[in-house]
Amino acid sequence: SFFSEVKTHSIDVFELFMRFHRDTHENKLNLAIGVAYRDDSGLPWTLPVVRTAEQTVAEDENLDNEYLPVLGLEEFTTAATRWLLGSDSIAVVEKRAFGVQSISGANALRLGAEFLSQVLGKTVFYYSNPTWRSHELLFKNGGMAEARQYRYWSEKTKNLDFDGLLEDLESAPRGSVVILHACAQNPTGCDPTEDQWRRIAGVMREKGLFPFFDTALQGFASGDLVRDAFAVRLFERMGFELFCAQSFSKNLGLYNERVGNLVVVLNDPKLVDPVKSQFTLIVRGMYSNPPSHGARIASYILNNTNLYDKWQDNVLTMFTRMKEMRGSLRGALEQLGAPGDWSLITRQVGMACDTGLTESQCEVLIERHHIYVLKSGRFNICAVTSANVDLIAKAIYDVFTS
Ligand code: PLP
């Protein structure tokens, strides 16, 4: 066959998923559950504000299915950019910030990487250790050949390794691209404080490093959509040029609609047209132009104060449930007397939840209790419900004490 040289590439998340499907135990539980939010019944949740916006889109007879412009639906990209940076942002006011619609956050990262490598000849990029598993792949496939890590998490202190992080950034070559999680770092759920962000920005300015933010969980760190934009806004207010990959998968629950935007901030409005023209070329060579349905929904919400307020309420609902489950799980583990400091669970933000289980303990959790977690010992807090929290805590307790 033409394909006879092709080897199977194994991906642990998919293997775990297949194993879960094959398990016939009636109380099996998948805590690695992809990346999606679940309600307290363990079911996917369509945000009520999204339902409202979808109805409006469905009933709008002026809409058609013509191609969108290559760089996307302008009312969406403009609103998303303004929402991220704030309408008082100088870059917005001076018209030197714009957005490129993308196939959600993953593709916003890829578009940015393509631009940096193809147009600017950049090769070196830094990502946090640990980070979301796709960063390296997206940037390498985007033409940036030299992947390097900066320290982020200390297993010893179960906290940010701030000194390590600064040291690694300080020794990065000028012009390197640094991927920064804007909030709710995936997978540690641990963000720098506002003061630490200022120091990171200071080092990056001094060393001439380019910030490439990734904001996939805006609203999930503090429950407040705007507060979670702190880091990006800080860099923008300090006069940085930057990219920021925005995803609306999680905060709008629009996972399969692939709604994203690459925010571009330049320091000179005269550069907007040339930069846009290069992005146009990149998009044409990749998928020609983006899809419209999800972007229309997001655009309705971002451009309507009433709907926007409802969105903030819906985000708070998700945030509050995740926070409550963190409290319940920690409480249950402490009540059982499970060994260890469980305060990490309530200190973490976003979706990731750290149990401290080793790889072999995770295996026991799967084999004996039919509870599926990734081998890092981290799982998705959204999969925890009032109905299963005690069961999960007892299983973790058993694994730690037997
Ligand atoms: N960035 C981070 C850190 C993520 O965790 C994810 C998804 O899990 C993404 C980006 C991109 O998600 P999507 O492509 O669905 O927007």
- Taking only the tens place, the pLDDT of each residue in 65-76 is 999 999 999 999
**Nearest ligand 1 atom to alpha carbon 247:** 16
Strand, helix or coil at 127? Answer: strand
Asked if 250 is an active-site residue, the reply is yes
Class of the CATH-defined domain 66-291: alpha beta
pTM: 0.96
For β-strands 352-354 and 259-265, DSSP reports them as: unpaired
Please answer whether residues 241 and 267 qualify as being in contact, where contact means their C-beta atoms are separated by less than 8 angstroms: yes
Residue at 396: amino acid letter = I
Please report where in the chains the tokens 């066959």 appear, as a residue.
Answer: 1
Please answer whether residues 175 and 152 qualify as being in contact, where contact means their C-beta atoms are separated by less than 8 angstroms: no
Is the pLDDT reported for residue 13 higher than 90? no
Q: In the chain, count H helices and then E strands.
A: 15, 13
Alpha-carbon gap, residue 175 to 160, rounded angstroms = 25
Q: Which residues of 10-19 are buried (b: 16+ CB within 10 A; e: fewer)?
A: eeeeeebbee
Q: Which residues of 83-109 are buried (b: 16+ CB within 10 A; e: fewer)?
A: bbbbeebebbeeebbbbbbbbbbbbbb
12-46+320-401 maps to CATH 3.10.20.30: no
**Nearest ligand 1 atom to alpha carbon 104:** 16
Q: Please give the structure tokens belonging to residue 45.
A: 């949740």
Catalytic residue among 45, 83, 122, 132: 132
Ligand 1 center–CA 248 separation, angstroms: 9
Minimal-distance CA residue to ligand 1 atom 8: 35
In 3D space, the residue among 153, 137, 134 whose CA is nearest the CA of residue 247 turns out to be: 134
Query: Tens digits of per-residue pLDDT, 306-350?
Result: 999 999 999 999 999 999 999 999 999 999 999 989 999 999 999
List ligand 1's pocket residues with C-beta within 6 A: 35, 104-106, 132, 181, 186, 214, 216, 247, 249, 260
Per-residue confidence band for 10, with pLDDT thresholds at 50, 70 and 90: confident
Alpha-carbon gap, residue 163 to 148, rounded angstroms = 17
Q: What angle do CA 261, 218, 144 make, to 5 degrees?
A: 50
**11 CB contacts (<8 Å, ≥6 apart)?**
none
Ligand 1 center–CA 106 separation, angstroms: 6
Q: Omega into 130 within 30° of 0, i.e. cis? A: yes
Query: Tens digits of per-residue pLDDT, 366-388?
Result: 999 999 998 888 899 999 999 99
- Residue ranges in 98-225 assigned as alpha helix (H): 104-114, 134-141, 162-170, 194-207
Test site for ligand 1: of 249, 251, 261, 287, most ligand atoms within 8 A of the Cβ? 249
Mean pLDDT of the chain: 96
Ligand 1 center–CA 249 separation, angstroms: 8
Q: Which residue has the higher pLDDT, 18 or 122?
A: 122
Is the pLDDT reported for residue 35 higher than 80? no
Per-residue confidence band for 261, with pLDDT thresholds at 50, 70 and 90: very high
Q: Omega into 187 within 30° of 0, i.e. cis? A: yes
Please answer whether residues 173 and 124 qualify as being in contact, where contact means their C-beta atoms are separated by less than 8 angstroms: yes
Asked if 197 is an active-site residue, the reply is no
In this prediction, residue 11 carries a pLDDT of 75
For 63, other C-beta atoms within 10 Å of its C-beta total 13
Boundaries of every domain in the chain = 12-46+320-401, 66-291
Ligand 1 center–CA 245 separation, angstroms: 9
